[in-house]
Amino acid sequence: MNITAATKVFAVIGDPVSHSLSPLMHNGWIADHGLDAVYVALPLRSEDPVAAIRAMKGLGFAGLNVTVPHKEAAARAADRGDLSVANVLWWDENGILSAYNTDGLGFLDALSEAAPDWRTSVKRVLIVGAGGAAVGIGQALSPHVDRVHFANRTHARGEAAAAMFQNGRTLRWDDLERGFGAADLIVQTTTLGMAGQPAQAWPLEFCRPTAIVADIVYRPLETGLLRAARARGQVTMDGLGMLIHQGARAFEIWFGVKPDVVKARERLTAALT
């Protein structure tokens, strides 16, 4: 690829980002469509991430994906977008910074692939975690279900997430057995189970046979939670689905074209094996 001063630069920012597959995914799509752009991963460590994000306009960035721990800061940094958390930023031709959250809709796209009839079978959801991804997923699921329960190790943060939704509720971390037993859909959004992070003994023995189990971690692609759920015969969804579909929605915001999600999964699966 010939990179010039006219090449548009995009990035994923967060801390850490060394594990991210987003550069492989987006640069693959950029090549597919012959676009003059490049996508990189940049660690962002700042005491004032809002100011740091706004300053990236002056460095020539056209758009950003945002991961932990900066999704709240991304929403505050934007000129447009009434959001509490954002994972996509885009500077338009006038330099206006707009914020989007594609996490939730990307999750729904992936869930519809893994369990096409979920809308008729899922009434109660348990989201493990209360960060930016958890909130985005909760926002997308809330209109389609009766209850969205958040269970977080820091209970106050779980309460804050649940308070954003009329049908939001909280569950204490030491009550996960009851939560797993009542849920039609369990969504694990924390770093537990990620490579290099602590493992967790999940109470899957309490699950309903029809419960769907999703984990947004994709390194490893088969987490301990998913491995145990599959052994029980549960319908499962790995973390690549959400990564790809939220990324596809971001790509369409930036470039106005829909990328090939099947080709992306082939590339990313190969990179993980």
Catalytic residues: 71
Cβ neighbours of 51 (radius 10 Å): 11
Distance CA 103, CA 10 (A): 18
For residue 77, give Cα distances in angstroms to 42, 48, 88, 192, 225: 17, 11, 12, 29, 35
Q: Could you give the CA distance from residue 159 to residue 269 in angstroms, rounded to a whole number? A: 36
| 266-to-22, 59, 206, 273 alpha-carbon distances in Å | 14, 33, 34, 11
Give yes or no for a contact between 131 and 71, defined as CB atoms under 8 angstroms apart. yes
CB atoms within 10 A of CB 115: 18
DSSP string computed for 194-263 = STTS------GGGS-TT-EEEE---SSSS-HHHHHHHHTT-EEE-HHHHHHHHHHHHHHHHHSS---HHH
Distances (CA, A) of 55 to 23, 40, 48, 145, 199: 21, 17, 11, 40, 38
